[in-house]
Structure 1
Amino acid sequence: MNKENFLQRFQLNPTVGYHPESVERVSHISGEQLRKAAVVVGLVEREDGLHVIFTKRAAHLKHHPGQVSFPGGKHELSDPSMQFTALRELHEEVGIRSDQVKIVGQLPALSTISKFSVTPIVAMVDSDYKAIIDENEVASIFEVPATYVLDQAKLHSHTINFKQIKHRVFAMPFQEHLIWGVTAQIIQSLQQHVVQQIT
């Protein structure tokens, strides 16, 4: 998938939310309990098409160590917007500057079981970016072809019962990585938005 094709689909198709089971499992959490956060769904043009940027979180982190995620983090009171939060965290974690990024839109905020409201900011990233990793937060950065990320056959889902509540768990294996949790939920929403094939 190339840049023009993605942008046309992303900007013309109506916004799609998250899987009903993902929404239901956090329905008991009130908006006042949620802490704001933002992530960057960064797309890069390569010779073989668009790629999506992911990071692997540092192994020593208290929360979600070693997990694959989009670059991002908590909203600070001094941040004027969620877009600012996303770009600030992108620069802090992997060294990509805001002048190397063009925001093209965002997905709906996703409420998580850990009481965050995560806003995914979708952006094009200059292909000549040079990653400078903050090893306190990030172990590595890697890219996945957008055709793979947007392929609904590559995203698996299972229902598990935990404390008498059904949980829909999404996961996408890629090489030695397993993309799951909140990141996979965002991918599922992006797939539905761009592909417009409701399952």
Structure 2
Amino acid sequence: MVIESIDQIRAALGREGRETSDFDLNPDVQLPEGRKLRPAGVLAPIVARDSGFHLLLTKRSSALKHHPGQIAFPGGKQDEGDADVIAAALREAHEEIGLPYDIVDVLGTLPAHETVTGFTVTPVFAFVRDGFEVIPEPGEVDEVFSVPLSHVADPANYLIESRRWRGTRRHYFTVPYGPYYIWGATARMLRAWSDRMTS
């Protein structure tokens, strides 16, 4: 899918949509009533390149206790000092990849996504107006890379795969790109966005 303008992305984010979850492809999972979910925000930073729009993603450090080596958006849980989940996503992107606040235009958000780790994550899409020096946070981010936005906007590039997890078979979305295996919550949130772009 060819993405011609930032306004096209902003319009897609303004359309109605439903919340998603890591359990969307696993309808047999029984989620406990009254469970407490912690709010979090992740940033989907879009940059303009000669070849078109690209999305910045991170490869988490292999030394981390949770999700080592996985592909993720910069972001994290909302802290007491954050005004909202958008502020949390911007703060985390500043800390994790060195993204300055003053060159970011927030385009919109997707409905929240529930993760198996007990978070309700709001994906925040933003356009990065100017170039900046990417500074991966030591110990947390091994690599920052970009994926053509047209790749993750095309539903045809998504696969459904599965593996054993906590004694049962769990299904999940993937959207591989070159050497990068994008899967799980990151792929699910991107798939929700691609559905918006093509609807």
TM-score of Structure 1 vs Structure 2, range by shorter chain = 0.7 to 0.9
Partner of residue 128 from structure 2, selected from 115, 125, 128: 125
Equivalent of residue 102 in structure 1, options 101, 105, 113: 105
Structure with higher helix content: 1
Partner amino acid, structure 1, of 2:139: N
**Residue correspondence of structure 1 range 36-185 to structure 2 within 5 A:** 36-158=39-161, 167-185=170-188
Q: Which residue of 2 aligns with 1:35?
A: 38
Following superposition, the deviation at residue 113 of structure 1 comes to 1.1
Could you tell which deviates more after superposition, 185-194 or 166-175? 166-175
* CA 127–51 in structure 1, closer or farther in 2 if over 3 Å, else same: farther
**Contact 2:152 2:191 (C-alpha < 8 Å) held by counterparts:** no
| Larger CA deviation: 95-104 vs 9-18 | 9-18
User: Matched residue of 1:38: which SS?
Assistant: strand
Query: Following TM superposition, by how much is the alpha carbon of 1:163 offset from its aligned partner in structure 2, in angstroms?
Result: 6.2
Percent sequence identity over matched residues? 32
CA pair 30-41 structure 1, distance change in 2 beyond 3 A: farther
Unaligned runs of 5+ in 1: none
After TM superposition, the score normalised by the length of structure 1 is 0.88
- SS of the residue corresponding to residue 131 of structure 2 reads coil
Report the 3-state secondary structure (helix = DSSP H, G, I; strand = E; otherwise coil) of the residue aligned with 1:60: coil
Asked if structure 2 preserves the Cα contact closer than 8 Å seen for 1:18 and 1:188, the reply is no
RMSD between aligned residues: 2.3
CA offset at residue 153 of structure 1?
1.3
Structure-2-length-normalised TM-score: 0.88
